């Protein structure tokens, strides 16, 4: 099965930009802030502006920015990366120059910038896991100019949520909203540090909610994303997405490369739940079955019947493409080619539905699955396990499978 590939660019650690050229252009432009008039010879001559700008009442966006802006931080992270060099890389230097040959450093330091927001007076702040993942040092810079050393309390790669703590007095904080109440068309305000431009504000609307990881193109994540058309760029990672009341409703995390008006945020309810576990336990346990699965469609059924040894009559359900050895699914007897039709008595039509049900279950609990196997209906009890901290994916035969 061929599917158009979706290229998703996670908002990686951004870099700073200088704008001296723009400053010189503005200084030398014939059309500056001064008004212009025409003299008797027909040449435009600059004159001083005589009318002041009209005073305008502040709007709700201005109020939100003034209220929340001080609690939005810039995160400067650096990490040391080992350079991979093949054996004998320096042999030519040694052959020509002997022991005095120059040695190239085997390590390099990567630096980048992201965003975050302070959630309480204790100095705990939220950001994306990919902003601080593997960082040796984390510097947190407030809008008022204060600099703090940040300590990473914990990260969760499956949801891309991280908690960082700073020690300081009179720290500004944000108010957290309820992402379950969001509706498409509501106002959305993003504040962050895209491309090193601190405290940048962009606005738009909530374009959609409940976007699955497969729809966004990140099958390895366990998040149902908020979609927004508020401009999000590299460096916005970890910054807040706000509603018209100034409450945080999401954490900005991703854009689709080459697209416009397609930004994605982690719902704040998800981020809050993950953060609580990171703060209290230092880690997050995600239930998982250990299967690679695909949403069954008439087109997929036709392809599977034509290209594999399976004979499938169903056109709805979740097809198990692979069972991870020694996983909870393997121990429960699930097999490649099974079709999951129900979980806990509720019909399952999409892989995202099954993934959500598994995510909401308990590690070590019982999940009842109803399957179609060789044209027969069977029931299986599976005990979800904790998602492995490190997991190597095998070569996929299908482009749209999800892990569960």
314 is catalytic: no
Contact 401, 321 (CB under 8 A): yes
Backbone angles phi, psi at 98, to 5 degrees: 70, -155
Q: Pick the closest to residue 168 from 184, 147, 154, 188 (CA basis).
A: 147
Active site residue 392: no
Cβ-based neighbour number of residue 244 at 10 Å: 14
Of 115, 179, 212, 237, catalytic: 237
How are beta strands 339-343 and 287-288 bridged, if at all?
unpaired
User: Which candidate, 242, 126, 260, places its Cα nearest to that of 191?
Assistant: 242
Query: Which residue, 123, 129, 154, is CA-closest to 266?
Result: 129
The catalytic position among 130, 156, 214, 357 is 130
| Residue 83 bears catalytic tag | no
Q: Cα-Cα-Cα-Cα dihedral of 364, 365, 370, 374, to 10°?
A: 20
Token pair in block for residue 355? 């993934």
Burial class (CB in 10 A: 0-12, 13-18, 19+), 25: exposed
Catalytic residue, chosen from 156, 160, 265, 357, is 160
Residue that has been written with the tokens 């054996």 in this structure: 87
If you ran DSSP here, which 8-state letter would residue 236 be given? Answer: -
Active site residues: 130, 160, 237
């Amino acid at each position: 099965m061929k599917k158009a590939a979706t290229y998703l660019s996670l908002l990686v650690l951004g870099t700073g930009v200088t704008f001296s050229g723009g400053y010189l252009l503005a200084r030398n432009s014939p059309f500056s802030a001064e008004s212009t008039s025409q003299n008797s010879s027909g040449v435009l001559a600059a004159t001083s502006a005589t009318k002041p700008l009209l005073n305008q009442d502040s709007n709700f966006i201005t109020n939100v920015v003034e209220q929340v802006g001080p609690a939005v931080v810039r995160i400067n992270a650096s990490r040391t990366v080992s350079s991979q060099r093949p054996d004998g890389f320096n042999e030519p230097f040694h052959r020509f120059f002997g022991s005095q040959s120059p040695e190239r450093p085997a390590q390099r330091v990567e630096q980048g910038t992201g965003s975050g927001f302070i959630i309480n007076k204790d100095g705990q702040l939220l950001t994306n896991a990919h902003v601080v993942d593997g960082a040796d040092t984390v510097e947190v810079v407030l809008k008022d100019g204060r600099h703090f050393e940040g300590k990473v309390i914990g990260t969760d790669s499956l949801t891309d949520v991280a908690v960082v703590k700073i020690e300081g007095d009179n720290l500004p904080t944000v108010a957290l909203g309820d992402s379950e109440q969001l509706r498409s068309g509501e106002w959305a305000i993003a504040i962050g540090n895209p491309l090193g431009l601190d405290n940048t504000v962009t606005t738009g609307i909530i374009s959609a909610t409940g976007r699955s990881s497969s729809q966004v193109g990140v099958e390895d994540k366990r998040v149902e994303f908020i979609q927004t058309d508020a401009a999000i760029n590299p460096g916005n990672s970890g910054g807040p997405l706000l509603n018209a009341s100034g409450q945080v409703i999401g954490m900005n995390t991703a854009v689709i490369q080459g697209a416009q008006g397609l930004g994605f945020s982690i719902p704040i309810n998800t981020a809050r739940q993950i953060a609580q576990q990171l703060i209290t336990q230092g880690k997050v346990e995600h239930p998982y079955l250990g299967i690679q699965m695909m949403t069954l469609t008439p087109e997929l059924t036709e392809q599977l019947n034509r290209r594999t040894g399976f004979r499938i009559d169903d056109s709805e359900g979740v097809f198990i493409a692979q069972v991870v050895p020694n996983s909870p699914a393997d121990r429960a007897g699930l097999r490649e080619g099974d079709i999951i039709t129900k979980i806990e008595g509720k019909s399952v039509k999409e892989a995202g539905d099954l993934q959500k049900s598994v995510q909401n279950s308990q590690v070590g609990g019982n999940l009842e699955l109803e399957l179609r196997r060789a044209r027969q209906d069977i029931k299986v009890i599976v005990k979800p396990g904790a998602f492995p901290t490190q997991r190597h994916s095998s070569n996929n035969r299908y482009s749209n499978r999800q892990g569960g």
